[in-house]
Structure 1
């Protein structure tokens, strides 16, 4: 049961269409929507983009616990993909559909309520989805191949959504541009939801007894897992760095580069390399190990980010090249930790005889959500410190301090966070031999799937 068929790898990877769309577009578009269309002050906008994600930090481990105990004949995780995924699409469209109420407070409340609803649906989609690889295969290398497909599809989704969302907004303009953009992205989410639900219907799963004990006891056990804790801390710091850069793309393009279509170009530079280089990073990981591959890709990402600090002094093509270097590192920084997570969950299952994959991934996605949520919020605070001027759509000349804040927020801050994460990652010690030993003793009775 270690080898999966290609259609099952692709089917699983299709779930990244939904996660990529939700993970990218709010981080890229929500802050500009609040500050430059609804006219909400940057500090208040920081709170709005943060609160729903903070709610997910609490909710994700609970969603994992619930999915761990699912006994649905279609598979323990798959029903969550369909139900929560469709709700995710509907609530996503509503975030950007705020009517003109004549009150900034009321319009801000609209965004906050539907962003909360969307974040809730996302928790019950993402946590079961991330938990699945630990149960689909016991192979250390097969999980890397599975993540290769997932990250490649994720990168394609990020590129399509990240490039098209600002293009749709700019082509239509104003609030209507955001409304149409929200509907288009919601349709993309539905495609990913249905694709992942149907694509995994024939995939096998390992039957592992759900863990007993209280939820608090399980959280304590997961928190005590040293390698998981180190991997999670590394990933959260890098998610924070990614969230900051996503939030800064539109500001960097419009206010620093000042070029039409620069947002789209920057996004293609950021995620385009992942379409070509994810398999290369996978081969590097197979040769030198996942940890060393993760370190190498992190260093590349940090180097690219540091180069962007020159954005105000160099031609735009140099900035695009620097962001491309970020993208080269980003491909590996997405694939390696996602391939290492199911290793940690599987080793725990083998040692305990109990399935805590949902709790592991619930804590993992809570950490990722926290990082991605703090990113835009932190970037908004950097804008506020630089005296960034919000507006309701009219052109505003930003002070020099705001332009400096945009550049430093996009470059130096993410680079420092990424390099700091490596101080944690170097202590990670789980190896391929550990995973192989766990696979040898884990219960592997297959549970048939119902199409």
Structure 2
């Protein structure tokens, strides 16, 4: 589905409305990455390995549902286009299941709670998929320009961080503020319930605003011919042919490893903040802003480095730099070069390193998101099919590794070092969080650096992308000319 050449240029408002839908995804993401493990482990009292296992199994369900939704999104035909009906239909069930995730029935055993997290967690992830995948697949339909796609992707990532970071900041500063009953605010169960209520409402609003705000662009899309009706086996073969693109497989492998490390970091940040650096909930709230600052700067930084170095080279270099900044606070503490706990300068130092980590990491993610858009045309030349939904389904699954594989890894590390449910940071042996940091940093480096090296299998640059777009346009003109020469059988 190429965009009509007569379509007006994408304006700031359209990019803004398109990107705003990611607020809902960001809220879902911060719930799974940052709060779910701590809430069920330290507040509800369920073993960390059980909670992380439930989240991991939910990721396996995603692995099945995501490409199905992507394929469906590519193949349906309505007057509202291929994407918007699914996006609009997701609003109520996604928000409703998000609400119930943090409202478990009282009196359940560990096993019953495991199944509750698994079932409700699968509902949240599946229903948000019905928005996120079609919405992501809009990007290459909105524009085919090499640099414009980076700009569109940067808005999407900024709003995802705005939703996630904004909710994390509000939750830690207000909902989880210390009280007489809960002097460690992060252990206050009522705060998590308020988080769920507010988060579900914002998720519902974001999905509707983004879906309705981009609906006017549908009239500029050139609808591809209806797909041939084929059986399940043939459909799977088509999907396999689409996914066999080497550049896409390189991005997928990089993304799974990188996002696993991001998820592990997000889940452990609140543990490190609480037990390693001994921050208050207000200080943790301040530290959540580093992600938003980094994502905002990435709005401008990612397009700049894309133009200067190309998407692949910039994504690789930024991933390597990002892991250096992420590791710095822990390495400096081990070397005795970081401020001691309680020193007011410690918050500023951790904020600085984390902000630079987020800037580089988000910019790298923006570039790989745009790189997938460029694969769409290359794949179309080879297969004859536009498969944005399928490609972005795999991209969404890649991102969900943060709250699946990443949180599972975090839960295993927490269980391994022996942070028991309900541990009080004021009485916990300081060697335990130190041990957590000692096993976390090497794992982070291996995942990031190993994943980045895989990007060199991606070969599309500006010149080859523009050649692909030109060739598709030539084929379209040729098909139109042939169609004009063929007499109508009805005449």
> Structure 1 length normalisation: TM-score?
0.92
Contact 1:156 1:272 in 2 (8 A): no
3-state SS, counterpart of residue 442 of structure 1 = helix
Matches within 5 A, 1:288-299: 288-299=309-320
Alpha-carbon distance, 1:400 to partner: 4.2
Alpha-carbon distance, 1:298 to partner: 0.9
Q: 2:89 aligns with which of 83, 88, 98?
A: 83
- Once the two structures are overlaid, the 10-residue window that deviates more, 273-282 or 416-425, is 273-282
Contact 2:171 2:191 in 1 (8 A): no
Query: Counterpart in 1 of 2:165?
Result: 159
3-state SS, counterpart of residue 418 of structure 2 = coil
> Structure 2 length normalisation: TM-score?
0.85
Matches within 5 A, 1:94-243: 94-101=100-107, 103-171=109-177, 174-203=188-217, 204-209=220-225, 212=228, 214-243=234-263
Contact 1:86 1:193 in 2 (8 A): no
3-state SS, counterpart of residue 253 of structure 1 = helix
Q: 2:461 aligns with which of 431, 440, 450?
A: 431
- For residues 137 and 143 of structure 2, what CA distance do their matches in structure 1 show? 12
Alpha-carbon distance, 1:395 to partner: 6.3
3-state SS, counterpart of residue 44 of structure 2 = coil
Give the number of aligned pairs. Answer: 444
- For residues 164 and 51 of structure 1, what CA distance do their matches in structure 2 show? 29
Contact 1:389 1:398 in 2 (8 A): no
- For residues 37 and 357 of structure 2, what CA distance do their matches in structure 1 show? 22
- Judged with a 3 Å threshold, the aligned counterparts in structure 2 of structure 1 residues 57 and 308 are, in CA distance, closer, same or farther, namely farther
RMSD: 2.2
- For residues 109 and 157 of structure 2, what CA distance do their matches in structure 1 show? 41
- For residues 444 and 209 of structure 2, what CA distance do their matches in structure 1 show? 33
- Residue 395 (structure 2) pairs with residue 379 (structure 1): no
- For residues 100 and 171 of structure 2, what CA distance do their matches in structure 1 show? 15
Query: Counterpart in 1 of 2:401?
Result: 370
Instruction: Mark the runs of 5 or more structure 1 residues left unpaired by the alignment.
Output: 446-451
Q: 2:74 aligns with which of 68, 71, 77?
A: 68
Q: 1:415 aligns with which of 445, 453, 459?
A: 445
- Judged with a 3 Å threshold, the aligned counterparts in structure 2 of structure 1 residues 63 and 401 are, in CA distance, closer, same or farther, namely farther
| Cα deviation code 1:300-326 (max 9, x no counterpart) | 211112213234642224323221221
- For residues 387 and 225 of structure 2, what CA distance do their matches in structure 1 show? 9
- Judged with a 3 Å threshold, the aligned counterparts in structure 2 of structure 1 residues 219 and 370 are, in CA distance, closer, same or farther, namely farther
Alpha-carbon distance, 1:390 to partner: 1.1
- Judged with a 3 Å threshold, the aligned counterparts in structure 2 of structure 1 residues 267 and 413 are, in CA distance, closer, same or farther, namely farther
Over alpha carbons, which structure has the higher Rg? 2
| Cα deviation code 1:59-84 (max 9, x no counterpart) | 10011111111112112101111111
- Once the two structures are overlaid, the 10-residue window that deviates more, 231-240 or 271-280, is 271-280
Contact 2:251 2:368 in 1 (8 A): yes
